[in-house]
Amino acid sequence: MKQQTISRPARVEGIGLHTGRLVRAEFKPAPADSGITFVRTDLAGSKPVTASVMTILDANRRPRRTSIGNGAVEVHTIEHLMAGCLGSGIDNLLVELNGEEVPGLDGSAHPFIEVFKQVGLKEQPAPRRIVQVREPVWIEEDSAVVAVFPDEAFRVSYTLSYPVASLKAQFFSAAVTPPLFEAELAPSRTFCLAQEVEGLRRIGLGKGATYENTVVIDPSGRIINNHLRYPDEFVRHKVLDLIGDLYLLGRPIQGHVLAIRSGHALNLKLIQRLQQSLERGREGGIKAQYVEPEATTLDIHAIERILPHRYPFLLVDRIVEMVPDQRAVGLKNVTINEPFFIGHFPKRPVMPGVMIIEALAQVSGIMMLNKPENLGKYAYFIAMDKVKFRRAVLPGDTLFLEAQVLKLRSKTGQMRTRALVDGRVVAEADLMFALLDGDEKL
């Protein structure tokens, strides 16, 4: 299939669901391979923000919505529009906003679908890129989970089940196609519990929410001043949100997405892991892993998904301790089969000191790169100081590789490292790194 954009400009205007401010969105055709890009026309000289994994903003600090940003430029509540783009088959679109939040309209994706239908779509010469899920990946927190499994189509199955008497359990499952999205998902509206309204307003959210654009459920389960468009509208809207979040991958998914109680924060963690796997995969496929939030240990399979190194230069077998932004400890089993022993004192094999330092650097890199904001980046070893080699490392030894953070910034890191065998220090060094995106030059 070919990529598509809209055939001519269009516009909508409405109140932001959370800011309560009137905002105008102008939609314009965009070139192939440019994705869904937002421009804040109210900020003079502001840079465009492309909806992607790399521009996601922390969902815990910006709850109840999906936000993207580029430095001082932020765009909020993009999930309904993103779902409308995916549901309409739009690959490339320029969205000009004269405010910080996408218009909420009726609280669903339906108005966006209608606008795109009115102006029509045009095919572009570039082929559409698809993310083909080849092995399962899932992530869970508490009682919520979201997972993706191989499938020949794009399917979503969602279970809504909260310990709230007024919100009964609901389930929805379907292969998502443009006709199904338009008829079964796009009109479903955002919702909240009546007892949540005051708390949301206190933290500055829901200022533009009304009984028309938000389905409000009272403690008895009754809908206040409105009616449902579907008996199971709540779970359908959760599916809509999930589809919009998934489109931050920048391309449609071929796979079966299963979710239980998943919200924006967990959805975004999943796609960050998918993106990481995609960048290290082959031919657009994903080879993914089970992810435990706040993991304190990593096996070799997880390490290979974080570091770009491979045999014979992958020198860490396991991470046995990890305290984010503070400390990591790795293991390296030194065997007589190490390739460097062939030429490094072959009659009396000794592990080269530079390889010990490289192993310490890799443990440091794992700690820096295993963070959502650093997915897709590379840690380049740029300097060392206070290097000392105290004992020889021989075949049969097990190296304990310790890395302690001295300084950690967005672009640089400095670590104090030690290598030990049987509790005795064999080498130590202060190491410095540069953190760069994949397309940045050192």
DSSP string, 318-329: EEEEEETTTEEE
Q: What is the DSSP string of 182-241?
A: IIIITT---EEEGGGHHHHHHTT--TT--TTTSEEE-TTSPBTTS--SSTTHHHHHHHHH
Q: In 3-state terms, what secondary structure has residue 336?
A: coil
What's CA 284's distance to the chain center, in Å? 17
Helix and strand counts by DSSP (H, E) for the chain: 8, 25
**301 belongs to the catalytic site:** no
Asked if 161 and 261 touch (Cβ cutoff 8 Å), the reply is yes
Classify residue 127 as exposed, middle or buried by CB count within 10 Å of its CB (0-12, 13-18, 19+): exposed
Among residues 76, 227, 264, 309, which one is catalytic? 264
| Burial environment of residue 352 by CB neighbours within 10 A (0 to 12, 13 to 18, 19 or more) | middle
SS3 135: coil
Report d(CA 13, CA 155) in Å as an integer. Answer: 32
Give whole-number Cα distances, 184 to 90, 220, 235, 243, in Å. 18, 26, 11, 13
Give me 92's structure tokens: 């490339």
Q: 421 with 399: CB under 8 angstroms?
A: yes
Closest CA to 393 of 350, 436, 357: 350
Detail the DSSP E strand segments found in 261-326: 285-286, 290-291, 318-323
Interacting residues of 271 by C-beta distance below 8 A, sequence separation 6+: 53, 245, 246, 248, 249
Alpha helices in 25-106 (DSSP H): 79-88
18 labelled catalytic: no
For residue 382, which amino acid is it?
I
Catalytically active residues are 264, 344
